[in-house]
Structure formats: structure tokens, C-alpha cells
Amino acid sequence: RPEWRFAPLAPKLSVSLVDGDLFGAIANKDILLHHPFQSFQPVIDFIRTAAYDPQVVAIKQTIYRTGMNSELMEALISAAQNGKEVTVVVELMARFDEEANINWADRLQQAGAQVVYGVVGLKTHAKMALVIRREEGGVLRHYAHLGTGNYHPSTTRFYTDFGLLTAHPGIAAEVNEVFIHLTGLNK
């Protein structure tokens, strides 16, 4: 019976991100997103904005599941084409998305991104991104996204997950350390 059904969910935009200055909002305070109740669009905008921001020098991201059509992956390709240092850790053993991940890895490499295929013997299941941006006075500031879900455009609409956008120096430094270990041959 139609009257017993809930109305379709329309995800809200975080109040902290309404004015449009994404990096300013994140620098001002951490932003916790609760998907699917809050839109996943700020996460896509985080990478897309970084791809075209002349102050951004590097973007690092882990990819577990993205699907065949991904605005986020297109933004990473654009970032590499725009001269950003782009590093992507792609997990090839991502259930249902192995083929898509291989295709994206090939496209990223063709665009000039450094692609790392996870760690042998371990599954890289982390959902994180790091943006390094040169700010006033030449200071490098790190911005990070950490999430419990995937970077897959359809699952973000129905799985309940959390995402954190932060410029907290301690958190960003730890995210950077994880990338150093994932992309290096360290133990």
C-alpha cells in the first residue's frame, strides 16, 4: 500500500558547507557527515575542488570500490592532467568491482597518476583521501577525508556510513603516514 511507504530520502547538505568555500569550511572545523542522510556530494566536491585549485600540490587516495561511473575518479584523472601529484592506492580484490578498479587504474596511469596496487597479503580496505595545499606564506596544509563506507556512487545512497573532512594536524599527519607505508616498501 503506497500510503505505508516512506517518502524517498533526499540527503541534506551539511550546514558547514553551504557557503561554498570548501577548504575554508574544513580549516575552520571538522565536518562529520552521516550518509545517506547527509549528501556524499561534499566528498566528491573535496576531490574535484582540489583537482582544479592552483594551490593544491598533491592528492592521495585509497580506492576500494568505485564502480564503472565515478565523478570522483574522473576528478582524480583531471587532477593528474592538471599537473597535481596524484597517488592512488587501488585495491584489486574489491568484491564486484575488480574490473572497474583495473580500468580506473589504467586510466589514472595514462593521465600521469602514480597507482599502487595495495599491499601483498593484505587487503587495503581504508577509505581515505589526503589533499596537500600550499596556503598563505607558502605553508603546506593537509586536508583529509576518512570514511567508513566506499567511494562508490550508488552505495553512498543507501548504506549508513560516516565521513570526516578535517584539517586537524594530528589526524592529517597520521593519514599521511598511512600513505607513506602503503606506497613505500616498508614493513
| Catalytic residue ranges | 125
**Cell of residue 176, nine digits:** 599521511
Q: In the chain, which ranges are continuous DSSP H helix?
A: 22-28, 41-52, 71-81, 98-111, 169-183
Nearest-angstrom CA–CA distance, 171 and 165:
10
Q: Are 39 and 12 in contact (CB under 8 A)?
A: yes
Nearest-angstrom CA–CA distance, 116 and 136:
32
Neighbours of 29 (CB within 10 A): 12
**Cell of residue 38, nine digits:** 547527509
Nearest-angstrom CA–CA distance, 95 and 112:
26
Name residues whose C-beta falls within 8 Å of residue 131's C-beta, 6 or more positions apart in sequence: 46, 47, 50, 56, 58, 59, 142, 143, 144
